[in-house]
Amino acid sequence: MRNKKIAILAVQETHMDEQCREAVENIFGRRLHIVASTDSENPSQRAGIALVLNKSFVNVSTETTKVIHEGRAILTSINWGAEKTLTVLAVYAPNLLEENVEFWKKIREFFELHPRTRKPDIMLGDFNMVEDTIDRNPSHNDSLQQTQELADLKSSLRLQDGWRQTYPDKRSFTFMQPILNGGAKSRIDRIYVTSQLLKKSSEWHTNHSGLANTDHLLVSAQITNAEAPVQGDGRWCLPERVVEDKAFRGKAKELIKAAWEQMTNARATPWTDQSNAQAIYAELKFNILDRARCQDKIMTPKILRDIGTLRKDLQQIDGSQDPSEVMTARLIADKIADLEKKRHNKIRELGRVKNRLEGEMNSRYWMQINKELKPRDMIFSLKNPNIAEAAAETVSKKMAEVARKYHNELQ
């Protein structure tokens, strides 16, 4: 969740009772907050669902949760800034046909019986069924009862499949059976959103999580608060790994030495727009940044480049019904999964080493791991109180200008 910057993660088939949940939160409680529901009859062996909230992005103090179906469906609401609330319905639908049909019916009836309960803005999880033949390979229809009950629930909650709306004709799958069991593929893991959120969503992806012992891919989307101000890309800064790289530092020293010689020569000549210390220094900074960007690309781990190449290859043939391409797609997907697992394990190993070396030292790392995490306090709009008719600004640059004028008038 830290590396992928995931704010809210839905986890299914957790088999996690309350004691286990507390144990996990005791370890990761500084960064994560977990809300969960277990199967009432067999909590450690069957079903189980959880929502994991990242404290770096979510104000967990405002979290409220209702259990709709024990171990199968939970409804969580959080404060989303600008006095807005975001409500998420996490589901883990039963696999059996009759239970699956009854599951969607039970959720719909819950909201009918509790009209004051806020309906979800997002519904996500493992649905254990698909709505269209395009979402199965080999293609076939699911039970009409299942699709109709889910359609009724979607209609009552006014939700739609965000990925399918974004890619109407594309085929991609989140679950793959082992080849020995037939090798069938399906898109049973999905995210549904309201029409308002769909307009503010992007980056709909299906990727391997990097975790071992999972046969489902991670479905993700980036959803923006409509009230949030317009923000830029921020300032690019030199990555720490580039600053510590010997090759980059050697090149930077050469650039600095050359700039110093230019400044020395400029002192002996009349001042011009091009030949002066300020212009030479400005050019030096741009040259160092350009060199740093090039070095950063060179230092990008080979494993990331390989994963990117394999994903492009997979996109070209994923969804094909040709037997040879189906097998090729499976081999590519398995290779991506292996690389993602290696990358994830490497990151964890480096984290353990860093904690072993600096975890008990008076260092920047030690201060960071002991600092309370909380989301940034974002200013959603700004208005000059001295101007009665002034409208509130929501664009960052204009907000900064309003603040500048206001403070200048105070002096």
- Which tens digit of pLDDT belongs to each residue from 21-35? 999 998 888 899 999
- Which tens digit of pLDDT belongs to each residue from 115-133? 999 999 999 999 999 999 9
Question: Of 15, 205, 216, 344, which is the active-site residue?
Answer: 216
DSSP 8: E
Start-to-end CA span in the chain (Å): 46
Phi, psi of 53, rounded to the nearest 5 degrees? -105, 130
d(CA 225, CA 318): 33
Helices (H), 268-394: 277-299, 302-317, 323-358, 364-369
Q: What are the structure tokens assigned to 153, written together?
A: 């629930």
* pTM of the entire predicted model: 0.82
Average pLDDT over residues 180-184: 82
- E strand map for 131-225: 136-137, 160-161, 175-176, 185-186, 189-193, 201-207, 218-223
d(CA 198, CA 191): 11
Per 3-state DSSP, the chain is made up of helix, strand and coil in percentages (nearest 5) of 45, 20, 35
- Which tens digit of pLDDT belongs to each residue from 261-295? 999 998 888 888 888 999 999 999 999 999 999 99
User: How many CA atoms lie less than 13 Å away from 92 in the CB half-sphere?
Assistant: 23
- E strand map for 17-69: 32-37, 49-54, 64-69
- Rank 173-182, 210-219, 252-261, 340-349 by mean pLDDT and report only the highest: 252-261
Q: Which of 61-70, 198-207, 265-274 has the weakest average pLDDT?
A: 265-274
92 is catalytic: yes
**Residue 215, marked binder:** yes
- pLDDT reported for residue 274: 82
13: Cβ–Cβ under 8 A, 6 or more apart, which residues?
47, 48, 92, 126
- Which tens digit of pLDDT belongs to each residue from 318-349? 877 788 888 888 889 889 889 888 888 888 88
Average pLDDT over residues 12-27: 90
d(CA 338, CA 65): 36
216 is catalytic: yes
Distance of CA 204 to the CA centre of its chain: 10
**Residue 355, marked binder:** no
> Please, which pLDDT band fits residue 109 given cuts at 50, 70 and 90?
very high
Q: Which residues of 58-75 are buried (b: 16+ CB within 10 A; e: fewer)?
A: bbbeeeeebbbbbbbbbb
- pLDDT reported for residue 411: 67
> Please, which pLDDT band fits residue 389 given cuts at 50, 70 and 90?
confident
d(CA 186, CA 379): 42
What percentage of residues in the chain have a pLDDT greater than 70? 100
Q: What are the structure tokens assigned to 148, written together?
A: 């109709």
Question: Of 126, 135, 142, 245, which is the active-site residue?
Answer: 126
Q: Which of 16-25, 99-108, 162-171, 356-365 has the weakest average pLDDT?
A: 356-365
d(CA 175, CA 34): 25
- pLDDT reported for residue 2: 83
Average pLDDT over residues 242-246: 89
Q: What are the structure tokens assigned to 112, written together?
A: 């009918």
- pLDDT reported for residue 252: 94
d(CA 275, CA 164): 58
Average pLDDT over residues 242-256: 93
Helix (H, G, I), strand (E, B) or coil at 361: coil
Relative orientation angle of helices 302-317 and 323-358, to the nearest 10 degrees: 150
**Residue 290, marked binder:** no
**Residue 152, marked binder:** no
Length of the chain: 411
**Residue 407, marked binder:** no
| CB 249 within 8 Å of CB 239 | no
Question: Of 33, 39, 92, 318, which is the active-site residue?
Answer: 92
